[in-house]
Amino acid sequence: MSISVASSQSDAIPDWIKSAAGWWADDSISDADYLANIQWLVDEGYITLGAGGDSSVMMRDSVYSIEKPYGWERQIPYTDELGQSTRDSLVHVDTIENEIPTIISVTISGIMGEDIDEHREWGTSLIQEYLGDAFNHTRVDQAIIDGNTGYVDEYVVTIFTYGLQGISYSFEHEGLIYEVKYESDVGDYDTYLGEAEHIIQSFQLED
């Protein structure tokens, strides 16, 4: 998934890193010093390391691909009764036993209305009808997602003493609404947020 963000850092690898490679080859610096330079490249985002274990790509009907790294299990795809909305999801294995597990889902549905804004109005009215004050938006931002106008929503659902927290990326593409969402128990939300965002960033349409 490509989300436009401002960047103040050049993509060029610093000259001192290039020099360090030569120093290491000449035995002018130790292996430990050189590995520290490599770690700096990882920490600063110049090098991206894939997840270990059974890391693979989850695909559905050649419509999209998304990373399925170690520790997440793919669930049986769901299609509603009218065939108008389909969902694929990943669940973190540590939370499968929970009543509402930690989940990352990709939902594809037809547009209700003329565009994504009317679709969101329709969706909001449904949420208000079924959840009322139990649903609270904590953030709504517009964003460019895979070159399409979209939205980033963060929210909390509180029912009695139970709290569900989530973040959703939604956009319109060729007459369909795509929503990529991460949800978890409020108490576990931060535990898996970084990993979930990494997986969500791997989302890619297969046009």
Residue with tokens 């080859």: 25
Q: What is the pLDDT of residue 159?
A: 82
Spell out the residues 6+ positions from residue 180 whose beta carbon is closer than 8 angstroms to its own.
1, 66, 104, 105, 106, 168, 169, 170, 200, 203
Which runs of consecutive H residues, i.e. helices, occur in the chain?
15-25, 31-43, 116-131, 189-201
Residues 56, 183: Cα–Cα separation, whole Å:
21
Amino acid at 93: V
Q: Where are the domains of the chain?
A: 11-49, 56-205
29 DSSP 8-state letter:
S
- Which pLDDT score, from 0 to 100, does residue 7 have? 37
Enter the tokens of residue 43.
């920490």
DSSP code of residue 188:
T
pLDDT at 207: 66
φ and ψ at 102, to 5 degrees? -75, 120
Residues 6+ apart with CB under 8 A from 160: none
Would you tell me how many other CB atoms lie within 10 Å of the CB of residue 45? 10
CATH-assigned architecture of domain 56-205: 3-Layer(aba) Sandwich (3.40)
pLDDT reported for residue 11 = 53
What pLDDT score does 55 carry?
65
Q: Residue 184, Cβ neighbours under 10 Å: how many?
A: 25
Question: Are 49 and 65 in contact, with CB atoms under 8 Å apart?
Answer: no
Q: What tokens appear for 105 in the block?
A: 């889902």
Q: What is the pLDDT of residue 56?
A: 79
Mapped to the 3 state alphabet, what secondary structure does 48-86 carry? CCCCCCCCEEEEECCCEEEEECCCEEECCCEECCCCCEE
- Using DSSP's 3-state secondary structure scheme, residue 107 falls into strand
Give the chain's end-to-end CA distance (angstroms, integer). 13
pTM, rounded to two decimals: 0.70
Residues in the chain predicted with pLDDT less than 50, given as ranges, are: 2-10, 50-53
The pLDDT, as a whole number, for residue 48 is 53
